[in-house]
């Protein structure tokens, strides 16, 4: 199973994303900061994520610094990085792209919108029928 790392200051965002992405066979781990995400990935059993969803509004860092830090980490360097935003902000989006972000998602999200944003970056399997 592929892994998605969600880094967001709100643990609820990570929980909702995990519930949605598990349905497409994407194991999701959540962290409330870059440091917490790095600690999770440093565990010997941790697999490198194929996708990272990182909040543009993490405390004590800028979006471009967050993306550069993820690109510098060997475990996340090749992952697709999507920056989550609350609103469209051209300056923030430009800085994130220049730092190495692959795309964006917007919060709040629902199942359909999150899957639509993630689909181009990972192989999305159809959810099993209930």
Q: Which CATH number fits domain 2-118: 3.40.630.30, 3.40.50.2300, 3.20.20.70, 3.20.190.10?
A: 3.40.50.2300
- Beta carbons within 8 Å of 43's beta carbon, 6+ residues apart: none
In the chain, domain spans: 2-118
The tokens 């994407």 sit on which residue?
A: 26
Percent of the chain residues past pLDDT 90, beyond the cut: 75
What are the CA-CA distances from residue 61 to residues 26, 56, 69, 86, 114 (Å)?
A: 27, 9, 10, 17, 24
For 52-71, write each residue's pLDDT tens digit: 999 999 999 999 999 999 99
For 68-89, write each residue's pLDDT tens digit: 999 999 999 999 999 999 999 9
Q: What is the pTM of this model?
A: 0.89
**Distinct helix (H) and strand (E) counts, the chain:** 5, 5
């Amino acid at each position: 199973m592929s892994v998605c790392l969600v880094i967001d200051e709100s643990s609820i965002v990570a929980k909702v994303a995990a519930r949605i992405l598990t349905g497409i066979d994407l194991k999701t781990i959540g962290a409330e900061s870059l440091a917490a995400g790095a600690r999770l990935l440093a565990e010997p059993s941790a697999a490198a994520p194929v996708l990272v969803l990182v909040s543009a509004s993490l405390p004590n860092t800028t979006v471009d610094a967050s993306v550069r830090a993820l690109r510098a980490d060997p475990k996340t360097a090749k992952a697709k990085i999507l920056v989550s935003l609350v609103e469209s902000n051209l300056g923030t989006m430009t800085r994130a792209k220049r730092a190495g972000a692959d795309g964006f998602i917007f919060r709040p999200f629902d199942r359909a919108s999150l899957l639509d944003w993630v689909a181009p970056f990972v192989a999305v399997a159809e959810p099993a029928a209930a």
